[in-house]
Amino acid sequence: FRATDFFGAIYMNNTTDVEMAAVDCDKAVTVEFKHDDTLSEESGAVMQCALLYTTIGGQRRLRIHNLSLNCSSQLSELYKSCETDALINFFAKS
């Protein structure tokens, strides 16, 4: 997988690093991923994202997010398991 597009209240100094002024429960970033190989429905897809941030006290922290996703060749299966609000928001912005 590779990230190809980013949406949200962000700043990008280069093509890979996303910078945000603040992160809290009301902030969101949408990332569009592309892949070159076929995805296996049996093994699914696994993605990892790292968030480097500084706390209010000045301490640097690294938060790692791991995500395991199911893959399907059937469009109906995709819509059963997606968050429709997030998907509609993505299509409206892209």
What would the CATH number be for the domain defined by 2-93? 2.60.40.1670
pLDDT for residue 93 is more than 80? no
For the chain, the structural domain boundaries read 2-93
* Those residues with Cβ within 8 angstroms of residue 73's Cβ, 6 or more apart along the chain or in another chain: 41
- The pLDDT value recorded for residue 40 is 85
pLDDT at 65 over 90: yes
| CB half-sphere exposure, 39, CA atoms < 13 A | 16
Residue-wise pLDDT for 8-48, tens only, equals 888 998 888 888 888 888 888 888 888 888 888 888 889 89
pLDDT band at 66 (very low <50, low <70, confident <90, very high): very high
